[in-house]
Amino acid sequence: ARVPTNSSNYTFPDGFKFGVATASYQVEGAWNKDGKGHSIWDYQTHNETYLIADGSNGDDACDSYHMLEKDVALLKNLGVDFYRFSFSWSRLLPSGHINAVNNAGIDYYNGLIDALLREGIEPLATIYHWDLPQQLQDLGGWPNPVLADYFEDYARLLFENFGDRIKMWITFNEPSVFTNGYESNINHAPSIEAPGFGKYLASHTVLKAHAQAYHLYNNMFRETQKGNVGITLTIDWCEPKEETEHHLAACERFQQFEMGLYGNPIFSEEGDYPEIVKTRVDNISEAQGFRRSRLPKFTQDEIEYIRGTADFFGLNHYTTQLGTPSTVIDSQPSYRNDIGIHTEYDESWPESASSWLRDVPWGFRKILVSLKQRYGNPPIIITENGFSDREGHEDDSRIHYHIGYLTELLKALHEDGVNVFGYTAWSLMDNFEWNQGYTERFGLHYVNFTDPERPRTIKKSGKIFKEIVATREIPERFRK
């Protein structure tokens, strides 16, 4: 291995890109303006208010729909290379279907993209960040395989209208998270209680939808538009609570269910779901008395069709968990039981405002190295990494988090040879944090949600981030 000098260890290589991220439902607001249709998040926040910590919604959120110039000014001030945002499917196709395009939606995104490009900021677009049109949910949502075709239609609309200017596409944000909306009725929209079935059926469609969009781009757009298409997966590092073979195996199961379910079909050499996932779900299904596995099967043609359908690996990484095996097989089907793990947090790890998020920087390096090993060192872009608090501008714990994680990223890059080419902070600004409403803030900018003007002010962390982007290194005062 190369032994880097101290200073190169704290320096980002030439061409490394920095950005910040948001997602349509979390920032846009204007939930019913100018012909926008309803999404499952409009539905959930309006009709299942009890699922949202403060009973709030994204009706207005940061009102970015009306303030795109303001947002672009914040980005310009940060000096970032790119902005990661997502398209709202129901703003563009109010019913979800391709027969009726909402031109006001096209205009809005044209305005945003052009404003970014005017400032030299590259748009990095997520096609789907969780806000499924409600009318497609009425057809069953992602467990219905027909959605793969509707997603392809929607992706085609985006490539046709925006692909001349967008050169980095992410098909899906975190399939492992939003498919939980088909696993339990206390969480993500559409909050359907179908444990042990819904998540696998939804994931099966999502993988096909992803591959269809990728092939569509390859066949129809790549030659002229010359962009890249990838997917964003999220995964925590799983640290075995004890150093036993069983603990190691439990963490490996965790990785293969939480990430491999999507990563293996797309990024592995052999394709298809991971062996351990197939074996576990098949066997447990049988033990539970089912005639067929709860995990759907891909045909050999489908395996080949999905394999290799990403030009880069988008990684969202936030935290680390401690894993302990739990191998009692429940008679009731559930995804959690299929994994066979109990996870917890070490009490010594610094807390955030989110129960699931602790500041554990060394786990970042470990997950990066494991991705390199698992998938043959793919080009990786960190599409989200961030920390929550409840209030305020003097956010030293967020600074601690980003510095720590960026330092570990540099070790993975310089010392372990991980092919990571970019980093995105979540988030540009405080926004609607899904089931947590506005009670948890992730922004580098503070947003005052009680003021109709939604003023944004830079936090201490935003200023430090700006410094890192400008100097392309960890400032000396933060080096250990």
| Long-range Cβ pairs for the range 293-298 (8 Å, 24+) | 294/196, 294/197, 294/200, 294/333, 294/338, 295/200, 296/200, 296/201, 296/204, 298/204, 298/265, 298/272, 298/273
Q: Quote the CA–CA distance of 83 and 26 in Å, as a whole number.
A: 15
Q: Which is nearer to ligand GBH, 102 or 203 (CB)?
A: 203
Neighbouring C-beta atoms of residue 303, cutoff 10 Å:
15
Considering the complex, what minimum distance in angstroms separates the CB of residue 303 from ligand GBH?
Answer: 27
Q: Where are the beta strands (DSSP E) in 161-254?
A: 168-173, 228-234, 237-240
Q: Of residues 152, 174, 258, 384, which has the active-site annotation?
A: 384
Q: Where are the beta strands (DSSP E) in 202-312?
A: 228-234, 237-240
Q: Quote the CA–CA distance of 370 and 267 in Å, as a whole number.
A: 13
Residue 126 engages ligand GBH in binding (rule: CB under 6 A):
no
Residue 173 engages ligand GBH in binding (rule: CB under 6 A):
yes
Residue 28 engages ligand GBH in binding (rule: CB under 6 A):
no
Considering the complex, what minimum distance in angstroms separates the CB of residue 175 from ligand GBH?
Answer: 11
Q: What is the dihedral of CA 128, 129, 134, 139, to 10 degrees?
A: 50
Considering the complex, what minimum distance in angstroms separates the CB of residue 21 from ligand GBH?
Answer: 8
Considering the complex, what minimum distance in angstroms separates the CB of residue 433 from ligand GBH?
Answer: 5
Q: How distant, in Å, are the alpha carbons of 32, 295, 313, 410, 468 from that of 423? A: 33, 34, 12, 11, 11
Considering the complex, what minimum distance in angstroms separates the CB of residue 388 from ligand GBH?
Answer: 7
The residues that bridge with 18 in the sheet, in sequence order, are: 423
Length of the chain: 480
Considering the complex, what minimum distance in angstroms separates the CB of residue 281 from ligand GBH?
Answer: 21
The helix/strand/coil state of 139 is coil
Q: Quote the CA–CA distance of 85 and 72 in Å, as a whole number.
A: 12
363 to 392, contacts with ligand GBH by CB under 6 A? 384
109 and 95 Cβ atoms separated by less than 8 Å: no
Q: Which is nearer to ligand GBH, 279 or 355 (CB)?
A: 355
Q: Which stretch binds ligand GBH (CB under 6 A): 1-9, 137-145, 169-177, 451-459?
A: 169-177
Q: How many CA within 13 A on the CB side of residue 222?
A: 11
315 to 344, contacts with ligand GBH by CB under 6 A? 316, 318
Residue 57 engages ligand GBH in binding (rule: CB under 6 A):
no
Binding marks (x or -) toward ligand GBH, 442..461, rule CB under 6 A? x-------------------
Residue 171 engages ligand GBH in binding (rule: CB under 6 A):
no
446 and 459 Cβ atoms separated by less than 8 Å: yes
Residue 221 engages ligand GBH in binding (rule: CB under 6 A):
no
Residue 359 engages ligand GBH in binding (rule: CB under 6 A):
no
Residue 303 engages ligand GBH in binding (rule: CB under 6 A):
no
Considering the complex, what minimum distance in angstroms separates the CB of residue 237 from ligand GBH?
Answer: 13
Q: Which is nearer to ligand GBH, 109 or 318 (CB)?
A: 318
Binding-residue total with ligand GBH (CB under 6 A): 14
Out of 426, 438, 446, 465, point to the residue binding ligand GBH (CB under 6 A): 426
Q: Which is nearer to ligand GBH, 256 or 285 (CB)?
A: 256
Residue 234 engages ligand GBH in binding (rule: CB under 6 A):
yes
Considering the complex, what minimum distance in angstroms separates the CB of residue 311 from ligand GBH?
Answer: 20
Opening angle at CA 197, ends 192 and 199, nearest 5 = 65
Residue 355 engages ligand GBH in binding (rule: CB under 6 A):
yes
Q: Which is nearer to ligand GBH, 12 or 178 (CB)?
A: 178
Active site residue 122: no
Residue 433 engages ligand GBH in binding (rule: CB under 6 A):
yes
Q: Quote the CA–CA distance of 209 and 217 in Å, as a whole number.
A: 12
174 to 213, contacts with ligand GBH by CB under 6 A? 174, 177
For 51-71, give the secondary structure using H, E and C. Answer: HCCCCCCCCCCCCCCCCHHHH
178 and 127 Cβ atoms separated by less than 8 Å: no
Q: Where are the beta strands (DSSP E) in 22-138?
A: 82-86, 122-128
Q: Which stretch binds ligand GBH (CB under 6 A): 150-158, 170-178, 275-283, 399-407?
A: 170-178
Considering the complex, what minimum distance in angstroms separates the CB of residue 4 from ligand GBH?
Answer: 31
Q: Which stretch binds ligand GBH (CB under 6 A): 144-152, 172-180, 300-308, 372-380?
A: 172-180
Q: Which stretch binds ligand GBH (CB under 6 A): 77-85, 173-181, 417-425, 458-466?
A: 173-181
The helix/strand/coil state of 409 is helix
The helix/strand/coil state of 133 is strand
Q: Which is nearer to ligand GBH, 42 or 433 (CB)?
A: 433
Q: Which stretch binds ligand GBH (CB under 6 A): 136-144, 171-179, 338-346, 389-397?
A: 171-179
DSSP state of 179: G
The helix/strand/coil state of 349 is coil
Q: Active-site residues: which are they? A: 384
Residues that bind ligand GBH (CB under 6 A): 23, 26, 173-174, 177, 234, 316, 318, 355-356, 384, 426, 433, 442
